Chain A
Amino acid sequence: MNQEQVREITYAQAVAEAIDEEMARDENVVLIGEDVGIIGGNFKATVGLRDKYGDWRVKDTPISESGIIGLGVGMAITGMRPVVEIMFSDFIALGMDQIANQAAKIRYMSGGQVKVPLTIRAAMGGGRSSAAQHSQSLHAWVAHVPGLKVALPSTAAELKGLLKTAIRDDNPVVFMEHKVEYNKKFPVPEGEYTIPFGKANVVREGDRLTIVATSNMVLKSLEAADKLGKEGIHVEVIDLRTLVPLDKQTMIGSVKKTGRLLIVDEGHLSFGAGAEIGMGIMEDVFYDLDFPMMRLGTEDCPIPFSPALEFPIIPDAKKIYEKAKMMAKR
């Protein structure tokens, strides 16, 4: 990415820009979802697209998650590149059959006759007092289903490049946007660029500990790493970008260097994506580990409404800092 550009846009604007560019490029790209049209999305991430592309390409749908994902599957296997928005990622629970049993498997079941270039965008994560049914980070579910790809962009620049890749990918991609990021501004390069799937991003180099993080936890990890850096503890931070495909090589290289691995992912800790990140490279790094691999994740309780309860259960820079410091000590 061109470092000279200092243009700043929000994460939400990056969504709209990525979709806009892809729609301009390919008339097969359409956007459907609840409230994506007239008001430009519940999170204002698709503002302006309906005005530009019209009602049939930017379609406000009924509240029918299963139906609209299935609609996307049908469009995708007949030559289009639909982008389906599921307002809150918690609602993928209503469409899991179409995601996991249909979108993910139709190509395989057909023996390769069809392809499913479908992007499912959804807003994940806690931190906005949205309570138990609007705050989850359920990417572990979809990452467990062969046939799907899963992306978790951390910043607006990452989002834009990864979303364009998702839309151009000929496979179903579940694209998890973090809801606390939408209104934040980030430097984003001008012009066209894509970011390939399956290439983790080393966002900070270090030698004492590797932190592998996803989505918003990348930013929190960087905060923690900055603080540790000031104390002379240099921590490497890796933004995983995609869970599927999973870039094991970058992680393995880093852990071989640092000997220590902390995984930070916002999904519930137990049976979460972090477990795979660790076990997935276990055999490769076992003899290089100076310390047990450790994880941070959202505690194993439904997400409570009250901020007094919610913030303590989600990993933050302080918790990451403390855990990392404990691990990095010699």
Chain B
Amino acid sequence: MEIRYDSPRYPSKQPPMRIRVLVFARLRELLDGGERSLRLPEGASVEDAWDALVAEFPAIAQERRCTRVARNGRLGSFDDGLNDGDELALLPPVGGG
């Protein structure tokens, strides 16, 4: 599945970035699948990616508070900017062991 999202803040004059989104556990269930591709305008942040997902899956909105993000396998923050081709993992509270 691919969601195309044109942020009002970032009118899509440039070719959009493609972001690979991985979600796990509860978020995977709410998004009905573990992996998807997002198209976001150049300059979009992790926050923008999240908002794009919330637009399609409103049920995840309340998960925001306890979700951590990893960009290309490294922990990051919702403020981080994204680059074309980034892998963005959305991590609910962990509980291994």
Q: Do A and B bind each other?
A: no
Chain B positions within 8 Å of A, measured between CB atoms, are: none
